[in-house]
Amino acid sequence: MKKVKFSFHNVRLSKKLLIMYIFSVLIPIVLTNIIFYTVTINNVKQQQIHDSQLALNQISDDFGKIIDDAVGISSSLYTNTNINLFLERDYPSDVDYVDDYDTYLRTFNQSSPINPSINSIRFYTDNPTIIYSGGVYPLTEEVKKLTWYKQLMKTNNTSPIVLNSMIDNQTSTFSIIRKLDYFNFNNKQKIVKIEINPATIEKIFKNVTFKGDVYLLNDKGQIEYSTKKDLAWREKPIPFTHISKSNKTVFLNSTDLDQAYLQNWKVVGTLSEKTMLNTVNKSGRFILYLAFINIIIPTIIIILINRSFLRRLQRIFGHVKKMGDQNFEKIPDPEYTDEIGILTSEFNRMVRKIEELIQDVFMANIQKQEMEIKRNRAQLSALQSQINPHFLFNALETIRMRSLMKEEIETANIIHNMAKIFRNSLTWGKDMVTVRSEANLVVSFLEIQKYRFGEKLEYEIDIDEAAEQCMIPNMALQPFVENASIHGIEPLKGNGKISVKVTVNQDILTCIVMDNGVGMPEDKKEQILYSLENEDEMGKSVGIKNVFYRLKLYYSDQFRFYVDSEKEKGTIVTIKIPYKTSIIDKKIEISQNKLYFPK
pLDDT in tens, 202-224: 888 887 678 888 888 888 888 88
The rounded distance, in Å, linking the Cα atoms of 541 and 538 is 7
pLDDT at position 460 is 93
73: Cα separation from own chain's centroid: 72
217 touches 265 (CB < 8 A): yes
Count of CB atoms situated within 10 Å of the CB of 492: 19
The rounded distance, in Å, linking the Cα atoms of 458 and 454 is 9
- Portion of the chain with pLDDT greater than 70, in percent: 78
Between 583 and 407, where is the model more confident? Answer: 407
Is residue 144 pLDDT above 50, yes or no?
yes
436: Cα separation from own chain's centroid: 66
pLDDT band (50, 70, 90) for residue 514: very high
pLDDT per position as a tens digit, 58-94: 888 888 888 888 888 888 888 888 888 888 888 998 8
Residues 6+ apart with CB under 8 A from 343: 316
The rounded distance, in Å, linking the Cα atoms of 206 and 200 is 10
Is residue 112 pLDDT above 80, yes or no?
no
Using the 8-state DSSP alphabet, how is residue 201 labeled?
H
Residues 6+ apart with CB under 8 A from 216: 63, 205, 223, 224, 225, 226, 265, 266, 267, 268
Nearest to 574 by CA among 492, 498, 514, 508: 514
3-state secondary structure of 501: strand
The rounded distance, in Å, linking the Cα atoms of 530 and 163 is 107
pLDDT per position as a tens digit, 416-437: 666 666 566 555 556 788 999 8
Between 377 and 2, where is the model more confident? Answer: 377
φ, ψ for residue 515, nearest 5 deg = -135, 160
Residue 198: C-alpha distances to residues 206, 257, 386, 593 (Å):
12, 20, 132, 102
> How many CA atoms are closer than 13 Å to the CA of 197, on its beta-carbon side?
12
3-state secondary structure of 177: strand
| Strands 508-515, 570-578: pairing kind | antiparallel
205 touches 223 (CB < 8 A): no
Residue 326: C-alpha distances to residues 65, 312, 322, 331 (Å):
102, 21, 7, 15
Residues 6+ apart with CB under 8 A from 401: none
pLDDT per position as a tens digit, 439-450: 988 888 888 888
Q: Which bin fits 475, alpha (ψ -120 to 50), beta or left (φ > 0)? A: left
pLDDT band (50, 70, 90) for residue 501: very high
Nearest to 558 by CA among 590, 583, 581: 590
3-state secondary structure of 541: coil
pLDDT band (50, 70, 90) for residue 161: confident
pLDDT at position 283 is 64
pLDDT at position 288 is 77
pLDDT at position 574 is 95
Nearest to 165 by CA among 147, 180, 142: 147
List residues bridging with 124 in a β-sheet. 137, 191
3-state secondary structure of 475: coil
pLDDT at position 260 is 72
Is residue 583 pLDDT above 50, yes or no?
no
User: Mean of the pLDDT values across residues 6-22?
Assistant: 74
pLDDT per position as a tens digit, 521-543: 888 888 888 888 776 554 566 77
pTM above 0.95, yes or no: no
pLDDT at position 388 is 45
pLDDT at position 379 is 57
Count of CB atoms situated within 10 Å of the CB of 316: 16
Number of helical H runs and strand E runs in the chain? 17, 16
3-state secondary structure of 248: coil
pLDDT at position 399 is 64
